[in-house]
Structure 1
Amino acid sequence: MQFLKTTTNKYLFLVSVLGFFTFFAFNDFQIYTNFKWIITFALAGAILLLNHYPILLPPKGNSLSMDSSIYLASLFLFGLNLTLAVLLINSILFAFTQRKIVWWKHIFNFSSYVLMIAISYYIYTLFGGTIGSIHINNSVPYLISLLTYFALNVIFIGLFFILAAAESFESVFKELIKEAISPYLSTLMLSLVLAILMDAKKLFGLFLFTCIAFLLSLAFKQHFHLFKEISEKANKDFLTGLNNHGYFKEILVEEVAAAKENDQPLCVVLLDIDDFKKYNDLYGHIEGDHLLQEFGLLIKTAAEQENFIVARYGGEEFSIIMPNTTCQKAISFMNELRKKTNDTYYKGVERLPYGCLSFSAGIAECEKETYNTSELLNKADQAMYSAKGQGKNLVHIYNQYSEYSTHRSLSLEKELEEAEHQLRIFLSKDVYTYRHSKRVYQYAVDFSRILTLSDYERKTLILGALIHDIGKIEIPRDILNKKGKLEPHEWEMMKMHVTWGKEIISTNKKLEDLIPLVELHHERYDGNGYPYGLKGKSIPKLARILCIIDSFDAMTTERPYQKTKTFEEAIIELRTCSGKQFDPQFVEPFIAIIKQQDNSMVSHKTEQLVI
């Protein structure tokens, strides 16, 4: 009973019981003729051989076996009983030859195949399919039976992964269907090819099919190894043998997505060899290349022990992806690596400033609200430059409140001037949007003063507020100024302004930090916003703040398609939508700012009356 304590084990037990019950309940165990026994063992032998020589598919090396093709061909030609006998013989032989596989996997596989074969058989006969010769009249039953077999396979495997790995229903089935639908359905269709061959030539037809499948396996194996060899060359740095810059970025995108989905920590490191130019000047580029090779081997050896991913980022810069690793563990690892680097002798390093080889490194941790990999790398880069600036041979963790977070930013005044220049185009097309953007900008200035933000965050919020609606330039004037409710297709076009705004801002590298605010200021805290339906803290913090400011101004100023609210009504709306549309931690502080401004205006008017 200990086995049944987990949900996964209960699922395995249930499938196994159903499988064995089906096997014994729907099998009449009739005595076969000599020919049928020969057919049975021939089919089982063919399955065993083709399982040993599966077809390898690039890029991931997933294997494709022809066993389902043989089971279904047997089902169409010889019926359920003989096919279940073939399955039983093959399962026993497979368990005997693959004794390293744990026992419950053999039982689960046997049971799931029994259920798939039996249900497909009854679906086939239910839709009028006849057992024996292959007929064109059975086309519909063949198709429905094959689709049933495929669906059952996906369900059995998918449920196991959902329960065993605690993954979401949607992600598991989407991945299974994406990976399996084309190759797996091909093998199912090949069952008809085998059935036609065996219908005409019996054992010789099976022999031909097995030979073709075996030769395909060898051909695909060679193709797969060639693909792997070419891929490795394309993804590796020629000098050091590490992953190259491009492949590193591909892996990083996947690792960031996995870390966010599974709510696991992830750190990225950028490191730069100190005074490498001086080493090259002293000893030449050939010796410099040797140094890069030896250093690359050092960090690769250290990283592999922790299952970290290393790449040559460019020149003397290297990068490390640290899955499931906190900042504390990352800095501990990097300081150990730094000391090991200092203690390892390389030819000629005694003439460098520290008398040994050293590097400076920056660490950035992926957070829920991290917008993309570029933001993460930018943070690691800033931390690395901070380590350089403080004397080199240091490792720094990115800290948004440190001075280096704005080391490459322009002054706020210069950036505001550039953003204002982009915004002025609204003056000739949509005065409302221009004025709205200016008011949102002023709210952002006032609100940023009371929030705990770094200088970098404050500048980004203010600039983002000023040009957050820049994408509306692309929307036709008649839709922007339409009075009354927008039609569904007009509303869909209006929502596109965030995407168009991102595209406009992306053309100016100086303003790329504003992209999250321009693109995501209509995301909602409850996940019902657009364009991506992000939820909670997966929305960048500044975009969550801007959403409140933007919505408040939209509610309290006249728009062609919406009635204006008073400040009091808008405040009630903010509180009502706190935790739904808006991040609750910023709602009350913003309301305090609005009330303070409202009281100031009332006091000012009173003073004027008294005077």
Structure 2
Amino acid sequence: MDSAIYLASIFLYGLNQTLEVLLINSLIYTIIKWKTAWWKHLFNFSIYSIMIILANYLFIFSNGNVDDDIHAKNLLPYLVSLTTYFILNTILISFYFFLQQTESSIQLMRGIVKDKTFLVSYLSTLLLSIVLGILLKEDTKLGLVLFVCIAILLSVAFNEHFRLFQETLDKANKDTLTGLNNHGYFKEILQKEVDAAKASDKPLSVAILDIDDFKKYNDLYGHIQGDQLLQEFGALLQNEADSANFIVARYGGEEFAIAMPNTTRNTAYSFMNELRKKANDTYYNGVERLPYGCLSFSCGIAECEKETYSISELLNKADLAMYAVKNQGKNLVQIYNGISEYSVQHSLSLEKELEEAESQLRIFLSKDVYTYRHSKRVYQYAVDFSRRLHLSEQERKTLILGAIVHDIGKIEIPRDILNKKGKLDPHEWEIMKKHVTWGKEIISTNKKLEDLIPLVELHHERYDGKGYPYGLAGKSIPKLARILCVIDSFDAMTTERPYQKTKTFQEAIIELRECAGKQFDPQFIEPFIAMIKQLDESAVASGPTGTVLTV
């Protein structure tokens, strides 16, 4: 409501007296709120000064006359001044929330600005400046009394509006039991943190932790006491996360997740291990009957890398590490490092998954035999090449499965385009390129194959950033997709296609070397060539080079 007073003062008494009123009010407010940071008081005084000065100058510029009365002839200058004040207020307050750099503050501000009820209420308070000017002219004492009454009522309405909006926001983003961020909102925040970490090349780690033997605790004491334990443990997590500027959430049931910006996996390990010890040493009602005689949790940690494809991949790695801890006896923290034991609890055997992937591939037998045979050859190359690389068993399995289904999206491409003799026209080429997106959609319907999505969608990205569908470059392309790009391109070069002549193995090897660092990640070229030479020692003759063009 102070804005209405400042504007009325501009219209009746001019700029100098208004700034004096602002200074006196700011000093009084600073004394009353002396615990508030000094820079916030200074910021508040500064934005009011800017709004008042500019509103005054535009009032004068639009032919407004400062007078002891409110005149109808000043209607346009009044509106110009009020509009200027409102726009500046919105911009400067938004800037304040931006400086706060908290997701909740920014989201709150966006929601308020978009809320029509808020806009109407705020504009009403500005119009009160004109009402106040009229009241002061007609009867100063009565005018002040009426204005104070209206101001109090509007302030109550504003506070209730803010309370209801914050309450609605909390219900959407917070877990109702613990008050922590909920699963959905945590993933939104994590996506932004991952994007920021990749853009700034700063570390980001994620931890997923699960309270050990929580089901036994519930069986012993009932769900009400179990909920109490979750609340108390959640409070501990929130307190520790706040002290380190981390983001914590209840991930589901007795599982919790923590996002740790600017934190390497080793630093995250130290933090989570200290937190685990603190949980062990903190007494919670009834935990003495649990196997460890205290509250304990199992935790897995994963660090975001340039080639991390999605937050689902990052969370899955932390989850796998956490389940490995469970298998080792619980009450431990472990960093994900790709060892094979992680996949034991979460996937079918390689043979069963190969059978399931190949069953999807057989559909090509009735439409495009070439794609079927190409996929089988790429699969065999992947089997052989994966033995030569330093891949974990999980990575090796993913590469092999991805090799089988990498072109599954071509099932959506019309037969006349797939089998066209000669070069594709631009429109047909655009359709052909969509097979990676359609393939992703097909694979996404089978949760067991979701680890293959990066290989299906990104195997035509180029190391120099000139590939499709996103133009990713370097290590922002997942490692397995970079490997598959080499294998897929080699087979495409050395196999007859409707629109491309075949190359000898030696010609293709020359092409691989020429395109190292351009189309292909150079670190995989020589190991792959060594494998090819071993498979076909007769590939020694030199020949002309050409352009690598794969589909």
TM-score, normalized by length of structure 1? 0.68
Pick one of 502, 505, 508 that aligns with 1:570: 508
Task: Pick closer, same or farther for the CA change 1:230–1:478 going to 2, 3 Å.
Answer: same
Checking the alignment, whether the CA contact within 8 Å between 2:26 and 2:45 is kept in structure 1 is no
Q: Any gaps of 5 or more consecutive residues in structure 1?
A: 1-44, 51-66, 75-82, 125-131, 136-141, 166-174, 205-211, 604-611
Q: CA deviation at 1:487?
A: 2.2
Task: Pick closer, same or farther for the CA change 1:352–1:600 going to 2, 3 Å.
Answer: farther
- Residue 469 of structure 2 corresponds to 531
- Residue 183 of structure 2 corresponds to 245
Task: Give the SS at the match of 2:339.
Answer: coil
Pick one of 520, 526, 529 that aligns with 1:582: 520
Kindly provide the amino acid, as one letter, of the partner of residue 370 in structure 2: Y
Task: Give the SS at the match of 2:537.
Answer: helix
Q: CA deviation at 1:237?
A: 1.8
- Residue 492 of structure 1 corresponds to 430
- Residue 65 of structure 2 corresponds to none
- Residue 259 of structure 1 corresponds to 197
- Output one character per residue of 1:304-334: Cα deviation in whole Å (capped at 9) or x when no partner: 1111222222222111111111111111111
- Residue 346 of structure 1 corresponds to 284
Checking the alignment, whether the CA contact within 8 Å between 1:379 and 1:405 is kept in structure 2 is no
Q: How does 1:114-129 map to 2 (within 5 A)?
A: none
Q: CA deviation at 1:402?
A: 4.5
Checking the alignment, whether the CA contact within 8 Å between 2:237 and 2:248 is kept in structure 1 is yes
Q: How does 1:136-535 map to 2 (within 5 A)?
A: 222-535=160-473
Q: CA deviation at 1:598?
A: 2.3
User: For residues 266 and 526 of structure 1, what CA distance do their matches in structure 2 show?
Assistant: 25
Kindly provide the amino acid, as one letter, of the partner of residue 512 in structure 2: L
Checking the alignment, whether the CA contact within 8 Å between 1:48 and 1:94 is kept in structure 2 is no
Kindly provide the amino acid, as one letter, of the partner of residue 311 in structure 2: T
Q: CA deviation at 1:95?
A: 9.9
User: For residues 213 and 549 of structure 1, what CA distance do their matches in structure 2 show?
Assistant: 73
User: For residues 298 and 290 of structure 1, what CA distance do their matches in structure 2 show?
Assistant: 13
Aligned residues: 511
Q: Percent identity?
A: 70
Q: CA deviation at 1:401?
A: 2.6
User: For residues 535 and 155 of structure 2, what CA distance do their matches in structure 1 show?
Assistant: 75
Q: Any gaps of 5 or more consecutive residues in structure 2?
A: 31-37, 63-72, 102-106, 136-149, 542-551
Checking the alignment, whether the CA contact within 8 Å between 1:383 and 1:404 is kept in structure 2 is yes
Task: Pick closer, same or farther for the CA change 1:510–1:402 going to 2, 3 Å.
Answer: closer
Checking the alignment, whether the CA contact within 8 Å between 1:401 and 1:453 is kept in structure 2 is no
Checking the alignment, whether the CA contact within 8 Å between 1:406 and 1:456 is kept in structure 2 is no
Q: CA deviation at 1:223?
A: 3.8
Pick one of 465, 478, 487 that aligns with 1:549: 487
Q: CA deviation at 1:508?
A: 0.9
Task: Give the SS at the match of 1:320.
Answer: strand
- Output one character per residue of 1:243-299: Cα deviation in whole Å (capped at 9) or x when no partner: 222222222222222221221111111111111222222222222222222222222
User: For residues 552 and 215 of structure 1, what CA distance do their matches in structure 2 show?
Assistant: 76
- Output one character per residue of 1:224-247: Cα deviation in whole Å (capped at 9) or x when no partner: 442221111222222222222222
User: For residues 399 and 168 of structure 2, what CA distance do their matches in structure 1 show?
Assistant: 46
Task: Give the SS at the match of 2:536.
Answer: helix
- Output one character per residue of 1:558-593: Cα deviation in whole Å (capped at 9) or x when no partner: 222223333233222222221121111111211222
Checking the alignment, whether the CA contact within 8 Å between 1:399 and 1:405 is kept in structure 2 is no
Task: Give the SS at the match of 2:299.
Answer: strand
Checking the alignment, whether the CA contact within 8 Å between 1:271 and 1:361 is kept in structure 2 is yes
User: For residues 435 and 216 of structure 1, what CA distance do their matches in structure 2 show?
Assistant: 74
Q: Provide the aligned C-alpha RMSD in A.
A: 5.0
User: For residues 40 and 225 of structure 2, what CA distance do their matches in structure 1 show?
Assistant: 52
Task: Pick closer, same or farther for the CA change 1:506–1:95 going to 2, 3 Å.
Answer: same
Checking the alignment, whether the CA contact within 8 Å between 1:265 and 1:365 is kept in structure 2 is yes
User: For residues 464 and 21 of structure 2, what CA distance do their matches in structure 1 show?
Assistant: 52
Checking the alignment, whether the CA contact within 8 Å between 1:91 and 1:106 is kept in structure 2 is no
Task: Give the SS at the match of 2:356.
Answer: helix
User: For residues 216 and 391 of structure 1, what CA distance do their matches in structure 2 show?
Assistant: 60
Checking the alignment, whether the CA contact within 8 Å between 2:203 and 2:264 is kept in structure 1 is yes
User: For residues 601 and 572 of structure 1, what CA distance do their matches in structure 2 show?
Assistant: 11
Kindly provide the amino acid, as one letter, of the partner of residue 534 in structure 1: L
Task: Pick closer, same or farther for the CA change 1:344–1:435 going to 2, 3 Å.
Answer: same
Task: Give the SS at the match of 1:269.
Answer: strand
- Output one character per residue of 1:326-367: Cα deviation in whole Å (capped at 9) or x when no partner: 111111111111111111122222222112221111111111
Deviates more, 1:433-442 or 1:289-298: 289-298
Task: Pick closer, same or farther for the CA change 1:93–1:343 going to 2, 3 Å.
Answer: closer
Task: Pick closer, same or farther for the CA change 1:219–1:263 going to 2, 3 Å.
Answer: farther
Checking the alignment, whether the CA contact within 8 Å between 1:382 and 1:404 is kept in structure 2 is yes
TM-score, normalized by length of structure 2? 0.75
Q: CA deviation at 1:407?
A: 3.3
User: For residues 268 and 409 of structure 2, what CA distance do their matches in structure 1 show?
Assistant: 40
- Output one character per residue of 1:53-73: Cα deviation in whole Å (capped at 9) or x when no partner: xxxxxxxxxxxxxx9xx9xxx
Task: Pick closer, same or farther for the CA change 1:104–1:528 going to 2, 3 Å.
Answer: farther
Q: CA deviation at 1:97?
A: 9.6
Kindly provide the amino acid, as one letter, of the partner of residue 247 in structure 2: I
Task: Give the SS at the match of 1:599.
Answer: coil
Task: Give the SS at the match of 2:460.
Answer: coil
Task: Pick closer, same or farther for the CA change 1:213–1:417 going to 2, 3 Å.
Answer: farther
